Amino acid sequence: MGGKRPVVTTAALAFGFLMLGVLCYVFFNHETYLSHVLPQFGIPFPRSSSGSLFHRIAIGYAADLLWAAAMPLAIQTVLQLKGKKQVWLALSVVVGCGYELSQKAGWIAGTFDWIDLIVYSVGTVLSLWIIHKIWR
């Protein structure tokens, strides 16, 4: 693909993954406002601690996966608009996995989780595969 089409496609995917991640977080995280309001109206709120292992993982980690996939796509879009190339790979790995590893080292607040690290890695690899398919 040539011209602006890959930039628009990459930007649209980044925005789409980001928004899907936000929706997953808002609708499935037990700490959000909706988790307290919906039951008052008789609407059941899904909990990450209930159901099958797949259900718990899908609810607990879907937003992280989508955000990790959106990050390299967003970085790729910005760098392509500025005429830069290949830097997005290093940035996406450092930001995604580096955040979780910084928690392990105690450099930033938060609880280190191996599954988060795996989810960030899978999201980044998925995104890099999409970028390769779009920009080849």
Provide the pLDDT for residue 1.
47
pLDDT band at 37 (very low <50, low <70, confident <90, very high): confident
Cα–Cα distance between 8 and 31 in angstroms, integer? 34
| One-letter identity of residue 20 | L
pLDDT band at 83 (very low <50, low <70, confident <90, very high): low
pLDDT of 129 > 60? The answer is yes
Helices (H), 3-82: 5-28, 33-37, 53-81
Provide the pLDDT for residue 88.
61
Q: Are residues 102 and 35 in contact, defined by beta-carbon separation less than 8 angstroms?
A: no
pLDDT of 49 > 60? The answer is no
Provide the pLDDT for residue 17.
92
pLDDT band at 15 (very low <50, low <70, confident <90, very high): very high
Provide the pLDDT for residue 51.
59
Q: How many domains does the chain have?
A: 1
Provide the pLDDT for residue 16.
92
The range of the structural domain enclosing residue 104 comes to: 5-135
Cα–Cα distance between 104 and 99 in angstroms, integer? 9
Contacts of 50 (CB under 8 A, 6+ apart): 56
pLDDT band at 56 (very low <50, low <70, confident <90, very high): low
